[in-house]
Each structure stands twice: as structure tokens, then as C-alpha cells.
Structure 1
Amino acid sequence: MTAPFTFNTTRSVRFGAGVLGELPALALPLTGPRVLIVTDPGMMGTGIVDLAVGLLRDAGLETTLFADVQADPPEAVVLAAVDAAREARAGGIIGLGGGSSLDVAKLVALLAPGMEALADVYGVGKARGPRLPLVLIPTTSGTGSEVTPISIVTTGAAEKMGVVSPHLIPDLALLDPELTLGLPPHVTAATGIDAMVHAIEAYASASPNNNPVSRALACEALRLMGGALLRAVRDGSDAAARADMLLGSMLAGQAFANSPVAAVHALAYPLGGHFHIPHGLSNALVLPHVLRFNAVVAPAPYAELAPHAFPDLAALDGQERAAAFIERLATLSADCGLPQRLRDMDISAEVLPRLARDAMNQTRLLVNNPRPLTEADALAIYTAAH
């Protein structure tokens, strides 16, 4: 008998080439005539922000820009964006860009009404709402933030903390694969591996809310992305590959939003916090080593996933198939041109114990790992990855 579970996702999803043009008609009923767009400096040079602003203003919406989002956004950036929303008297928030911009937009929508403070909402289920109407438009195929109840913030010098609440799920996710055509190969690769990690960890999660819907979505996400990632990296203008990556990323986001991720993310976060390594690359660096650790006692999920991502692995069985899946993921990462070792990122062996200690603070994630993991285990995984 299927165990009880809960599945939540974005109320409305609009997917398709060119759907950015529908933004004014879709946003206005939600946000009203005054919006704040949350984005980052890199996006400002792409022409996408100008296009979105032009569409909104031509439709009569009063549009204010906050374009100071940083990767791994610190609390100060979130609070500055909240101030901008209040000053603009925004009736709704539009997040446009990669995962960091979308995460900041979520928190701006939550905090701008002034009903709660950022320091009070860290953790699971702490945010009470209400929030401003929220539209998210991803321009990378990685985080799936447009369909998740999660926002990650860098607190202090290096530690990352999460706000997890259904109140962060947006009203509308608008996915236009044409917005991803300009992504450079290294960003395509890192964000693509990140999305595949979401699907893998959601499927294998030890969460009591691991459910049939999330598992089905994870399988379809891997089917799409396993066949498309390398094509998208090698030919950024491959529209079909870009569409499969964006859709796969969203499906993986829906999966892990309800069946949460685990030790790959827990060990990746200290790499981003201390060394400012992009999140997707941090995941890629530890992914095969965490999965090898898990597969010693829990090979079944990886064996089940293998033929969805790599159909030829269906010829193998059990532990052999799980092992081949892990090695194929490592090969895919290398073929995409991503660094493979922590030492490639100028991370010395001396800092590995500190990384292991910091990883153990990610209790929200570690409880979902299919194999219990100690600080000594974390250090051994970092050492293997070094």
C-alpha cells in the first residue's frame, strides 16, 4: 500500500519557446500594475531583462529593477531587495535569471509585506506568510527554483541556510527555452549536472515523503537530461536540447521539492560557502563519491534510475548497474568539461576537515540520505574527491 504523502508545486506553469512575450498578460492579473523585477548584473548584459521590462511597460505596468543579486546571495542582498520592493510599492515580484535571482525574489515576496523578519524564517515551515504575488522566469536549466518551496541564503562568512515553506512556491512559473540559448558551455554543464543531482537525490531520498509522483518525475527528468546535456554543452543553439534541459530541470525541481535532497547537496554547500564555487559545480565535484558511498548499502535506487538516463545500462543488473550508472555520471561530467577534483579548484587537503565539520551542520539534508553519514564519512568523501 502506498504510504500517505503530500505533493505541492507551482499553481501554474507556462512552457514553450517565445512564451516570455506572454508575460504582461499572465502577470498583470496576479501582480497588479506595479512590479519589481529581481535579477543580477550578468543578466543585464544579455538583453533579456530589457526585453521583459519593455514588454511590461508597453502593457502599462510600472516596473522597477533590482539587479544586484549575487551568486550565493548574502542576507544583505536579500534585505536590500526587500527595501527596493517597499520603496517601489510593488504589488508583485518577478524573478528573472538563475537560481540565485529566483531565490532572492521568493524571499522579497515573503518579506516585503513586513509581517516577518528574515532571521525568523530560516528552517522548515517557519515562514507564515502572506506574501506578494510571485512570478519566476528561469534562464538556466539547473535549480528548478521556479517550482520549489526553498530559498538558500549565505549567512555570516560562509554558511548557507535555507528557508523552506509552501509560501515560497510561486504563483506562476514561465519557462521559455529560448532564454537559455545564450548560456555558455560551462554554465550549461554545471547547472545541468545540478538538475540531474536533484532528480537522483529525490528518487533515492530517505525522506518519509518520498512518493510515487516525485519518483516518476525524477525518472522523466533524467530521461530528458541524460540525452540532452552533452548536446546542449557542445551546441548551445540546439533548441531541442535546450528545451529538454529546461523541462527536465523543472521536473527534477518538482521531484526534490517534495522528496528532499541529501548528502550530495550537504557536502556541496561548504564548497560554495568557503570557495565561492558555483553550486552546480560543487554538486558535480562530490556527486560520484557520495553515490559510491551510498551504493554500498543502498544500490537499488541507482540501479532503477540508470536506464532512464542511459538506456544502454538496462542490459546490466543490480549492483553492477548501479556502479555503472555512477561511473557514467562521472564520465558525463568530464565530457562536459567540468573540473573533476577538488584540487583542480585550488582546494588544499588541509581544509578538508573543516569542510567535513561544516557539512555536518546541514542536518536538514543529511537526514534524507539513504545511508547514515558521519563526520568521518564526510571527510573520507572529500578526501576521495580531492
Structure 2
Amino acid sequence: MSAFQFRTVPHLIIEAGATAQLGPHIGHHFPFVRRALLVTDAGFLRTGLADAPLRSLRAAGIEVHVFSEVQADPAEAVVHAGVAMAQMFHVELIIGLGGGSSLDVAKLIAVLAPGRQELAQLYGIGKVHGQRLPLVQLPTTAGTGSEVSNIAIVTTGATTKLGVVAPQLYADLAILDASLTLGLPPAITATTGIDAMVHAIEAYTSRLHKNPLSDMLAKQALSLLSANLIPACNDGANLPARQAMLLGAMLAGQAFSNAPVAAVHALAYPIGGLFHVPHGLSNALVLPHVLRFNLSHAAPLYAELATLLQPGITGSDEARANVLIDAMQDMALATGIARTLREVGIAASDLDRLADEAMLQTRLLSNNPRAVTRHDARAIYAAAL
């Protein structure tokens, strides 16, 4: 066995309704905290689902300020505004409440609020120095796994994104409460769920850091997600399915934080950046085509994953690997999400630009089981068109 390291969030609470007791949970883990900043987006705030955790915090004697300027694909200006609010109110704790964008912004505010570094200094791997403010994460979608990951993605220009990767981005506490996800629209449930499955699949085949712990987490994640995606899409109030999806997404997040994702994400990022397609859908659009491209190098591993979706299947590694690919396509079809690039407004004339942008994702491409050239990237986009 090759040597490896594994890190994750030290405290996890997995319980439906747990956020209604957020104040006591914070008091138990951080008894010194009296001022907190809740980081979320205006749309989630309007649902009313933040009311119970806010009441619980205030009942526990914690002064809460709400930063609700987060948007999808958050820009640097959003992070700067959140840091300014945290500093203005001298908060002692950051709470992320929302999808991956809110959780990512919360991480960066926690790191930057002490004032020791600027955002531009953080991009890359291991560029964060010193301690951050205490950080609690509450996901409201079962997708990114950001609540347990050490990564934050920021939109740095009209179409470009950069990542911050550092151990300081692991939260102190993550709470998985499926009541926060009830009523999430089927399309968002589907795309975020498939995003989480991509995390599991890519972690299991990650070229550089695949390890026994990430493998175990990825397999359990894929089992939970594949079994509960359609039930959660069909009935937004199905609490057991919602809780299983949250757990699956978290396990996948733990897996890919230690065995990083690869070409699916590398090719998905330009789709989101250039055409403003949601991240989970961007992944879903290229997933089957990247998997087929990787078959020559990853078929045995894909075959192992296929048995989780269809126990008892037989045949060659390639035949079973194709079962995995077909199953992922069938799930996308069953949920009714877009399945081709044309459906999201991408034309053949856009493929060269997409391929050029994808090749800039060197951090991700280096993890892929098969090397990807620009010609390969363009061919994958063409197959997804």
C-alpha cells in the first residue's frame, strides 16, 4: 500500500431538524462566541428556512449578522463585501448556510477576516497562512460536498475561475439537516445530485491520490446517491431520501477532498464560466463522454463502481464499465435535465474556445486516469454537442 494522508472536518452532526438547535450546538462547540456572521444568498433567505436557526442562535445569546449577497459562481467582490461585514461587526464565528457558493464564500471570509492576507494571495494550493475564524457549515443542497472540502472556487473575471485549496478551509463543524433541502426543485436536486456522483466517480479513479479511505467513502457515496436521486426528485418532501442524499454528497466531498477530481470537472468549468450553466449540470453534460474517453485506462475501476448500481452484473471490465456509463445517462434522462450542449445554448462554433479554456485546468487534468490533449478535449465536447 502506498503512503497517504487523509483530512476531513473534525465534527459532524447528521440529523434532520438539527439546525433548529443551532444555538445550543454552537454553544457546546464554541462557548466563547457572542457574535456570528451567517453567510447565505437572498433566495434562500426568502424561503424562510433560515428563520429557525437564526432564532436558535439569538435565543442562545449570540448576536447574528446576516450576509446574503452570495450569488452563483461568486465573484471576488462578493467575498470582499462579506469580509468587510465580518470585520465591521467584529464577528467571532462564520456560519455558511446554503449551496456550494455560500459555503465557499463562508470559508474565504473566515480566512480573510483576521486581515493577515488578501484574496489574491490565496489562489492555488497551500497558500493560506495562519489561523482563520471558527467555521460552521450547513449545506442546503446535496451536491458540492463543500461543507467537508478544503476547496473554494471564485469567479475572477468575466469567464475565469480560480480555486483556493488549503487545510484551513476545512470547517470545524458541519451539520447535515435534510429539512433545509425540503422542496428543492427537481432540476436542482438532479443536477446537484449528479455533481455529487461525479465527485465519487472521479475520486475513485483519481490518478495521484486515490487511497483506501477515499475509495471506501466514494463507493458508499455512490450507493446512497444512486439509490435516492430519483425518489428525491420525484417527491421533494421525501425526508429519508433527502437525508440520504445529503449524507452521500458529504461522503463524496470527503473522498474528493483527499483524492481530487479530474477531467469531468476540468471540462465542466468552461461550460459554466462561458455560458453560465449551473456547475452540476455542466458536469452532467460531459460526464458520459469523459467516462468513455477514460475507458482504456479506467475500465476496471468503473466496472467495480458499476456493481454498486447493478449488483450481480457480469461480463468483461469494459462491458461492466459501460453499464456504469449507461446508468448515469439513464438517471439524467429520468430526471429530465438537459443532456446535450446544444440544449444549453452551445454551438459547434464554441467548441474551440471551450477546449482552449479546458486545457487551462491543469490542477484537475493532472488527476485524470488518462492524459487529455486539446484535441481530446475538443472531441469530448463534440461528442456532448
TM-score by length of 1: 0.98
Pairing 1:118–2:119 present: yes
Q: Please list, as runs of the form range in 1=range in 2, the aligned pairs for 1:156-235 lying within 5 A after superposition.
A: 156-207=157-208, 209-235=209-235
Q: 1:137 deviation in Å?
A: 0.1
Distance 1:109 1:217 in 2: 27
CA-to-partner distance for each residue in 1:169-202, whole Å, 9 max, x for gaps? 0000011011111211000000000000000000
Query: Per the alignment, in what secondary structure is the counterpart of residue 161 of structure 1?
Result: strand
Which deviates the most, 10-19 or 30-39? Answer: 30-39
Partner AA of 1:319 in structure 2? E
Structure 1 consecutive aligned stretches of length 4 or more whose deviation exceeds 2 Å: 28-31, 309-312, 314-317
Which deviates the most, 24-33 or 147-156? Answer: 24-33
1:321 is matched with 320
1:247 is matched with 247
Distance 1:317 1:77 in 2: 50
Distance 1:65 1:33 in 2: 14
1:371 is matched with 370
Which deviates the most, 212-221 or 298-307? Answer: 298-307
Q: Please list, as runs of the form range in 1=range in 2, the aligned pairs for 1:119-134 lying within 5 A after superposition.
A: 119-134=120-135
1:352 is matched with 351
Structure 2 unaligned spans of 5+: none
Q: 1:311 deviation in Å?
A: 2.6
Partner AA of 1:154 in structure 2? T
CA-to-partner distance for each residue in 1:68-107, whole Å, 9 max, x for gaps? 1010101110111110110111101000000000000000
Distance 2:315 2:326 in 1: 13
2:136 is matched with 135
Q: 1:50 deviation in Å?
A: 1.9
The answer to whether the 8 A contact 2:224-2:244 is kept is yes
Distance 1:93 1:112 in 2: 10
2:109 is matched with 108
CA-to-partner distance for each residue in 1:224-268, whole Å, 9 max, x for gaps? 111110111111111221111110000000000000000000000
The answer to whether the 8 A contact 2:139-2:175 is kept is yes
Distance 2:222 2:8 in 1: 19
Distance 2:21 2:5 in 1: 31
1:361 is matched with 360
1:309 is matched with 309
Q: Please list, as runs of the form range in 1=range in 2, the aligned pairs for 1:1-150 lying within 5 A after superposition.
A: 2-28=1-27, 29-30=29-30, 32-150=33-151
1:273 is matched with 273
- Assess, with a 3 A threshold, how the Cα gap between structure 1 residues 310 and 72 changes in structure 2: closer, same or farther: farther
CA-to-partner distance for each residue in 1:308-348, whole Å, 9 max, x for gaps? 13335x33431100012111111111111110000001111
Partner AA of 1:229 in structure 2? L
The answer to whether the 8 A contact 2:263-2:364 is kept is yes
Pairing 1:263–2:263 present: yes
1:297 is matched with 297
Distance 1:100 1:160 in 2: 13
1:237 is matched with 237
Which deviates the most, 258-267 or 288-297? Answer: 288-297
Matched positions, count: 383
The answer to whether the 8 A contact 1:226-1:310 is kept is no
Q: 1:156 deviation in Å?
A: 1.0
Distance 1:174 1:219 in 2: 22
The answer to whether the 8 A contact 1:225-1:309 is kept is no
Query: Per the alignment, in what secondary structure is the counterpart of residue 264 of structure 1?
Result: helix
Distance 1:179 1:317 in 2: 43
Query: Per the alignment, in what secondary structure is the counterpart of residue 298 of structure 1?
Result: helix
The answer to whether the 8 A contact 1:229-1:245 is kept is yes
Distance 1:163 1:319 in 2: 36
The answer to whether the 8 A contact 2:24-2:56 is kept is no
The answer to whether the 8 A contact 2:21-2:53 is kept is no
Q: 1:27 deviation in Å?
A: 1.5
The answer to whether the 8 A contact 2:309-2:327 is kept is no
| Root-mean-square deviation (Å) | 1.0
Pairing 1:339–2:329 present: no
Which deviates the most, 296-305 or 130-139? Answer: 296-305
CA-to-partner distance for each residue in 1:132-158, whole Å, 9 max, x for gaps? 000000010000001000000011111
Query: Per the alignment, in what secondary structure is the counterpart of residue 297 of structure 2?
Result: coil
Distance 1:131 1:95 in 2: 14
CA-to-partner distance for each residue in 1:199-234, whole Å, 9 max, x for gaps? 000000001x21100000000001111111011111
Distance 2:95 2:284 in 1: 29
CA-to-partner distance for each residue in 1:285-319, whole Å, 9 max, x for gaps? 0000000000133211100111113335x334311
Query: Per the alignment, in what secondary structure is the counterpart of residue 174 of structure 1?
Result: strand
Distance 1:224 1:32 in 2: 36
Identity across matched positions, percent = 55
Query: Per the alignment, in what secondary structure is the counterpart of residue 164 of structure 2?
Result: strand
Partner AA of 1:219 in structure 2? K
Distance 2:57 2:15 in 1: 19
Distance 2:214 2:130 in 1: 26
